[in-house]
Amino acid sequence: MNSPRETRIRTVVRQAYDTAKTQRQLWVFGLFAAGAGGVNIKGPGDSVPDWIGYAIAVASVLGLVALGLHLVSEGALIHGAAHSRDGGRTSIGVGFRTGLRFAPRVAAIKLLTLLAFLCSAAVIAAPFGIAALTGTALVGAGIASLVLGVASVPLLLTIQLLSTYALRAVVLEQQAVGESIRTARHFLAGRIVTSLWLLVAQALGSSLASVGALVVALPILALGLGLYFGVGLVPALVAGGLLMLPVALSVSGAIGTFRSSLWTHLYLAERIERA
């Protein structure tokens, strides 16, 4: 017989899967919520061609746009998953407007999370850094940093989970940043084991989706290989790229939707139960 925790986890995973499967318009936001990258910029010297400066400028603008869409998509996905619990369907326009409304608070939570991770990383690297600066034994310092890193895993997981639940408190309960963090702390208390199991479910679900995408991609790869030997490299790359792009975008969007929906459904289920 399943325990209440196991039943809850199975229910949440099924709900997240149903959301990712039926709410395909959310894949647009799932694609951008999966991650956002940054751009490292170096000052161009006199010998650097002008086009490199323009390329860096364009890449920087695209990076900022991707970051903005990432912040908007977080809120849009949370709202869309919550709306799907009652059989509702959130349009892309409504999702974008909702995400845009909460984007400043989402950005603040993510910035605080980043700062917490950076502070943790600084503490972990401190022994090695001090040893490198003072010329003392690097091996012992490296071991100390390794021990600190392992010991910090629970702290880093807690930071990530607090951030995850705080985002849902912001969007679903329209709380301010400070209040959402307090809500997340109270919510996480007593639900650490459930949250860890959900992390496992998230990893397994993402892996299964990736394997499924690989299976779908095999015929495309075979076609590309046939074109390569038949007509050349360029046609093979063009045809393979055109066929692979929709698969890659769809899988990334679906995985992002599934991962976000897991935590939204758990948050709502536990909050409803407490109410």
CA distances for 78 relative to 179, 218, 233, angstroms? 18, 33, 43
Count of structural domains, the chain = 1
The neighbour count for residue 89, using CB atoms within 10 Å, is: 12
Which pLDDT band, with edges at 50, 70 and 90, does 49 fall under? low
Indicate whether 25 pLDDT > 60.
yes
Distance CA 258, CA 154 (A): 24
* Assessment of whether the complete model's pTM goes beyond 0.75: yes
Q: Which two tokens stand for residue 122?
A: 């600084």
- At position 226, the amino acid (one-letter code) is G
Distance CA 53, CA 16 (A): 44
**pLDDT 10s digits, 119-156:** 999 999 888 888 888 877 778 888 888 899 999 999 99
Q: Is 123 exposed, middle or buried (0-12, 13-18, 19+ CB in 10 A)?
A: middle
Q: Which two tokens stand for residue 58?
A: 């364009």
Q: Which structural domain, as residue segments, surrounds residue 103? A: 4-274
What 3-state DSSP class applies to 2? coil
The pLDDT, as a whole number, for residue 115 is: 96
Q: Give me the mean pLDDT over the 162-191 stretch.
A: 94
